[in-house]
Structure formats: C-alpha cells, structure tokens
C-alpha cells in the first residue's frame, strides 16, 4: 500500500470520529492561532514604525545628527548649529550616501503650553487641510499663499485648551511665542494603547511654518542617509568622531545622534520578547495537545485491532501499519494547524482594525504553522504507530 492510499485511509479515520478529532485538535488550534496572531500584528507594527521613522522610504537607513549646546542661550540666538562645512565633513565619512537638512514639510512635533504644562503635539504642515471639520472652516491654499496665521486643531487639543470645542473656535493658539487663530476643529482621537499610531493634532499652512520656524530645522539637525551596505553603528561612531574633530561648533556643545536603525532594533527586541512569551504559553498548549493526540492514537490502535489483523492477513507489512497510524496522527495535527492559522490571521486582522495597526503575513508564519503542527503529529504518533505495528497476527486472530 503506497503513501497516497495510506493518507486517504488516515483522512477517513480522522473524519469518521469528527467530535473526538475536533476535541483533540482544540489545543493545537489555540496554540497555533495565538502564535500566528502575535507574529502577524508584531511584524505589521514593526513595519509601520520603520516606515514612519524613515519618512516612507522603508529601505533607507537614516541617522539624525543633533547638536546640544553647553549654554542654553544659544537656542535663542541666531547661531546655526550646522552649516555647509559640517555637511562636507560628514559627507567624507565612509558609508555616508547623502547629508541633508531635515525637511520641514510633512509632520513635526512641538511642545505646546496647556494648563501650565508642556505637551508634545504632532503638527502637520499642509497647503490645505483634509480633515472633516466639526465646526469652523478648513485651511485653504489661499491661507498658505498669503501666509495667514491660522490653524485647525483636533477636538482633544481644543478641549484641553478651552474645555469645549465651541469655546476654542476663533481663539488664539500659541506655538513657541507665535500666535495663531483657531479657525476650525476636527475630530481627534485619544491614544488607546501603545500600539496606536500617533495622529496629527494641529494643521498649519506650510509657508507660515517656513516663515517662523525655518531656522529650527536648518540649524540644529542634519539627516545622514547611509549607503545600502553600510553598518549604522560604525558610521554613527565615525560621524560623531569627525564632528568632534572638525565640527564648527565642537567647542560649544555636544554632538549626538538619533539612529532609526537602533530604535527599530529596540522595537524588534521588545516585540521579540513579547512573541517569545506568547510562544512559551502557546508551547504549553501545544504540549498538552500533543499528549491528547498520543492518547487518541493509543485508543484508536486499541479499537482497531481487528482492522490491523485483517490488513496483516492480506499481506500488509509492519512498516505499512506503522506508516498508516503515523500519517493519521500527522493529518490530525496538520488539519488543526491549518485551522489555527486561519483563525490566527482572522484574529490578527480583527485586533489590527481595532487598534489601527497593519497586519503582515509572510511565508515564515505559514511555514511555522505547518512545521509545528506536523512536528507535533510526528513526535506524538510515533509510539502509538509502533505499538500498532508490533501487534502479533496470531494473537489478533485468536
């Protein structure tokens, strides 16, 4: 009897006892589903984070170089912390592809005074606002063209400032000493969890930002993009060392870096720890499920003694009997693994939609579900299958 015929016999045996098979697979389904869910969400969250940190270019690794002066009064002076000479110094470091000033378009973060406390808010620099306005009006391209000092803010910020959104409309809004008028308010969302992606709190015209805050981005920070095969840690060390030797502000403060690669590595480590914890819990479930599979296979061997005897009498070898029960155990766990994978992906999409995180499905998760479930089937079916193969034909016929 070949493997195909043995496998068909195994599938018939599994589906013949549906209730018992389903209960045996239950632990495998839960274990596989838990691991697949956390892996799919974790990888999606990691990709979202990397995409945001790298301004949408997922392949480019960027190092953000900042300068911290010894004398804080330099922050309010007109001194540029970086200039073209510093860019040329960094550009000579091996592994550096480009050195640019950070873009002022897109999204920035500023500290806003709210109830005598400083809160960091995300500010979108726009030509016109796109959010659906609750009250007031949206920002238009005309506001941007004439550099109108107006903003639209979200309802959460509006309530923090003026208790109600109605009170906030047409009121003043200060950003680092510059006064704006609130002309519109859109719906805001509170941060629901650590997995929630930050959303824009304030929108202001691009040209207004450039007029008031252009020096912020051009003088205090440089963005270094690395070559494809460069090692971030090595390049970072070389850049700082070169600036400490030849930087124009080397005697007035300290050069520091914000390395997105290090940050993403840290995120990966945290997610790896969470995944390991969930995997350990799921592993216990899979171990218990494996014992259940072994128990069911022993019962199956005991109940089908006559079937084994008839097959042996018709010429089936011991290896053929062993293969039949081994395939039956693998089929049972593999079906459980596939069901667990489908449930895990469904749970990942459901949770991802609730906490606004992307879900990433790759070949590894599929291979993990198939590999683990098949492995459990093989390991915990070997002994029952061997016992079935060792049954003596004479004893069975008696």
Predicted local distance difference test score (pLDDT) of residue 385: 86
**3-state SS class at 199:** coil
Residue 43 φ then ψ, to 5° = -70, -35
Query: Do the beta carbons of residue 226 and residue 99 sit within 8 Å?
Result: no
Q: Tell which residue, 110, 93, 190, has the closest CA to residue 151.
A: 110
Predicted local distance difference test score (pLDDT) of residue 218: 54
Write the DSSP assignment of 12-58 as a string of letters: HHHHHTHHHHHHHHHHHHHHHHHHHHHHHHHHHHHHHHHHHHTTT-S
- CA count, 13 A, side-chain hemisphere, 391: 29
Predicted local distance difference test score (pLDDT) of residue 77: 65
Give the model confidence (pLDDT) of 136-187 as tens digits.
888 988 888 888 889 998 888 888 888 888 888 888 888 878 888 899 898 8
Helix H or strand E segment including 188: none
Q: State whether the Cα torsion 341-345-350-354 is positive or negative.
A: positive
Predicted local distance difference test score (pLDDT) of residue 51: 63
**Low-confidence stretches of the chain (pLDDT beneath 50):** 56-58, 193-195
Give the model confidence (pLDDT) of 9-51 as tens digits.
777 777 777 788 888 888 888 888 888 888 888 777 777 766 6
Predicted local distance difference test score (pLDDT) of residue 56: 47
Token pair, residue 121, equals 């808010």
Token pair, residue 387, equals 């016992």
Give the model confidence (pLDDT) of 63-79 as tens digits.
778 887 887 777 666 67
């Amino acid at each position: 009897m070949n493997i195909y015929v043995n496998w068909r016999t195994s599938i018939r045996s599994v589906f013949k006892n549906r209730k018992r098979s389903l209960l045996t697979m239950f632990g495998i389904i839960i274990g596989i589903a838990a691991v697949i869910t956390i892996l799919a969400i974790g990888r999606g969250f990691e990709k979202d984070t990397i995409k945001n940190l790298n301004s949408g270019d997922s392949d480019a690794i960027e190092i953000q170089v900042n300068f911290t002066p010894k004398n804080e009064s330099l922050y309010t002076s007109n001194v540029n912390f970086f200039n073209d000479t510093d860019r040329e110094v960094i550009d000579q470091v091996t592994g550096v592809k480009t050195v640019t000033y950070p873009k002022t378009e897109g999204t920035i973060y500023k500290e806003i005074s709210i109830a005598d406390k400083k809160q960091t808010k995300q500010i979108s620099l726009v030509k016109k606002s796109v959010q659906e306005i609750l009250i007031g009006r949206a920002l238009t391209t005309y506001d941007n063209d004439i550099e109108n000092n107006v903003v639209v803010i979200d309802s959460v910020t509006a309530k923090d400032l003026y208790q109600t959104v109605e009170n906030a409309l047409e009121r003043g809004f200060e950003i680092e000493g510059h006064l704006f008028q609130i002309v519109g308010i859109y719906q805001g969302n509170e941060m629901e969890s650590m997995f929630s992606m930050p959303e824009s709190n304030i929108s202001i015209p691009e040209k207004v930002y450039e007029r008031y805050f252009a020096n912020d981005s051009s003088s205090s920070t440089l963005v270094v993009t690395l070559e494809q095969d460069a090692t971030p840690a090595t390049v970072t060390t070389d850049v700082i060392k070169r600036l400490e030797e030849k930087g124009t502000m080397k005697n007035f403060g300290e050069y520091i870096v914000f390395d997105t690669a290090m940050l993403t590595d840290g995120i990966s480590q945290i997610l790896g720890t969470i995944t390991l914890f969930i995997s350990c819990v799921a592993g216990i479930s899979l171990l218990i499920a494996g014992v259940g599979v072994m128990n069911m296979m022993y019962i199956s061997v005991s109940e089908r003694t006559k079937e084994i005897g008839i097959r042996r009498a018709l010429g089936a070898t011991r290896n053929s009997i062993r293969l039949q029960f081994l395939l039956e155990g693998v089929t049972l766990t593999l079906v459980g693994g596939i069901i667990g994978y489908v449930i895990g992906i469904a749970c990942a999409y459901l949770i991802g939609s609730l906490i606004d995180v992307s879900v990433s499905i790759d070949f590894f998760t599929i291979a993990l579900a198939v590999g683990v479930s098949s492995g459990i089937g093989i390991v915990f079916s070997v002994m029952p299958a061997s016992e079935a193969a060792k049954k003596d034909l004479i004893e069975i016929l008696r």
